[in-house]
Structure 1
């Protein structure tokens, strides 16, 4: 599946295990403006649960998530403000 939402930035975090995908995502989002979208690619099977909790706790919006070629992909919209 490919998303119809075009991200402003991408982060390939394949090969990293918890907590590094969340930490790197947090760092990438810090460089972005509110409302921009980050696409994250991971291989850690814990990331679907981790990213759902991360977005709930931080106020960022998890727009989409899907699996593709043994990878987990996420589209995260940075919260405004």
Structure 2
């Protein structure tokens, strides 16, 4: 598996819904089309939140991994 290069990072660990989504949206809005954001969150609800947000906005969750309760998302801006 090739490693996905991220252009920006956003740490949302310790934050609860809806903060990870709000901060992700704000960060993505400031990025160029095609750039990748690496976002980390500890809220288990972020899994469903990120999926539905990506479908709604057209941005793509390229990769989602979980390790030790930390969810890592690689999100490509549309």
**What TM-score, normalized by structure 2, do the two folds share?**
0.95
Give structure 1 stretches of 5+ with no counterpart.
Answer: none
Structure 1 residue aligned with 2:28: 29
What CA deviation, in whole Å up to 9, does each residue of 1:18-67 have, x standing for no partner? 00000000000011000000000000000010000000000001100010
C-alpha RMSD of matched pairs (Å): 0.9
Separation in structure 2 between the aligned mates of residue 54 and residue 42 of structure 1, nearest angstrom: 15
Aligned length: 77
**What TM-score, normalized by structure 1, do the two folds share?**
0.92
Separation in structure 2 between the aligned mates of residue 70 and residue 44 of structure 1, nearest angstrom: 8
Give structure 2 stretches of 5+ with no counterpart.
Answer: none
**Residue 4 of structure 1: SS of its match in structure 2?**
coil
Separation in structure 2 between the aligned mates of residue 4 and residue 68 of structure 1, nearest angstrom: 17
